Amino acid sequence: MEVQIFGLKKSADTRKALRFFAERRVKTHFVDFTERPPSLGELRRFVQRFGLDHLIDRESREYADLGLRHARLSDDRWLEKLADAPSIIRMPLVRQIGAGVSGLTVGLAEDEWRKWMER
């Protein structure tokens, strides 16, 4: 089993996800959004599965700093905002990579990750 983890190194939840998989010797591919911002295609994959509201971290400081609390934006505009300011994305985004198996999670989802390893 392999996983791809999207996030920020400074995010505590991203570091927890990296540690979770490292402790279980799962091969990980980490994509740091500060080095490579998320593409709209990557974000759409998660939005299709979970919905846009689940991806937005409304508790983040940058969300408030950008004045987004009262913003009324279209879904496409929100995706652009998420791509431009990845720190307002709920971290980490994790994608399971495997033979015909595809799993996605948003945020810490250790119970789901354990199920992936049992399969």
CATH assignment of the domain containing 52: 3.40.30.10
Domain limits at 98?
A: 2-118
Q: How far apart are CA 57 and CA 82, in angstroms?
A: 10
> Which residues does residue 68 pair with via DSSP β-bridges, in sequence order?
none
Say what the pLDDT of residue 63 is. Answer: 86
pLDDT at 84 over 90: yes
Q: How many residues does the chain have?
A: 119
Question: Which phi and psi (to 5°) does residue 95 adopt?
Answer: -125, 125
Q: What is residue 8's three-state secondary structure?
A: coil
Domain count, the chain: 1
Residue 100 has pLDDT above 70, yes or no: no
**Average pLDDT for residues 63-84, to the nearest whole number?**
87
Which pLDDT score is estimated for 99? 59
- Say if residue 119's pLDDT is above 80: no
pLDDT beyond 80 at 2:
yes
Strand pairing report for 104-106 and 2-7: unpaired
Assess contact for 17 and 92: CB atoms under 8 A: yes
